[in-house]
Amino acid sequence: MSNFILISHRQRINFKQNIFNFTLNRLIFTLSFLFALYSCTKDDDKIAFNDIPVVESYLIKNNPVSLTVSRKTPFEDNVTLSDDILDQLQIKISYNNQTRIIPSVGKGVYRDPSLKPQEGITYKLEFVFNNQLVTSSTDVPKKPVGFHQSVTVLEVQSFDFSGGFPTGPITIPEPVKLTWTNNDEGYFMVVIENTEVSPVPIRDFGDNTPPGRFFRNEPTQGKQFEIQSMSFQYYGNHRLILYHMNPEYAELYKDNGNSSQNLTNPATNVKNGLGIFTGLNADTLTLNVIKK
């Protein structure tokens, strides 16, 4: 007897339907399986806190070394911090084959009055925090050369906007032009500081909080800066400090974003940490702002 199997037309249809149902069942099964697989990969909602230190230290030529170590403020509550105590860290600064342990003076501040940075020397920072070696390195740039100001005395008329615009003639003097030499595209910044004990305001601030004694430009790779007379808030003596700086300081002025669309970690030159460890050099001029 042959093994030939006769399939009727109806059976054929059923066979086809079975194949279809089988395919459909497999499809549904596969889909369910894939969905189940996806469901297992739920994202963890908790934001992990990476306890790394924040360093702040400016190595200014001939100024004693000072360094502050702090912790970030966590975004979420109940984060786990390392056992490190901020005042009990072993902060080392090495230079010219020497290593100094910088003593703590409390509140996370470390200071060594005997260590005064010098030009052309590379300083390396090293300490352990949260079982990681935190390192950084910088050098003190050259003192600015050719720092020059267009005037030493600036006459500014006092005026008051609080009662509306003044009606009489007001003279706005020419801006104070500061220039310096910059042949290697170095970074410079001018900080203007009023040095009077009790500075006299140029204009009535009304109910507004009086502005600070400092103002500054943004770090620039240029070789000049004009101080508009309207930038001055107070009469009296001012220091015009020109800082020659390393790029890592200039980086601090750049935004790392503060929204969820563009948030990235802030720029830092501290490995396994955050903040700044940078050398600076400065030259200072003075300017007297007097009443016209």
Q: Which is nearer to another protein, 4 or 120 (CB)?
A: 120
Q: How far apart are the first and last CA of the chain?
A: 127
Report the nearest approach of another protein to the CB of residue 218 (Å): 6
Q: Which is nearer to another protein, 178 or 250 (CB)?
A: 250
Report the nearest approach of another protein to the CB of residue 287 (Å): 16
Report the nearest approach of another protein to the CB of residue 10 (Å): 17
The strand pairing partners of 22, in sequence order, are none
Distance separating alpha carbons of residues 70 and 74, to the nearest angstrom: 12
Distance separating alpha carbons of residues 177 and 172, to the nearest angstrom: 15
Q: Which is nearer to another protein, 64 or 257 (CB)?
A: 257
Answer positive or negative: Cα dihedral of 112, 113, 115, 119.
positive
Other CB atoms within 10 Å distance of the CB of residue 66? 18
Report the nearest approach of another protein to the CB of residue 253 (Å): 8
Report the nearest approach of another protein to the CB of residue 77 (Å): 11
Angle in degrees, CA 39, 43, 47, rounded to 5: 165
Q: Are strands 109-112 and 65-71 parallel, antiparallel or unpaired?
A: antiparallel
**Measured between alpha carbons, how far is residue 89 from residues 84, 100, 106, 128, 133 in Å?**
7, 13, 11, 7, 12
Q: Which is nearer to another protein, 95 or 215 (CB)?
A: 215
Q: Which is nearer to another protein, 7 or 172 (CB)?
A: 172
Report the nearest approach of another protein to the CB of residue 45 (Å): 7
Q: Which is nearer to another protein, 14 or 99 (CB)?
A: 14
Contact 207, 161 (CB under 8 A): no
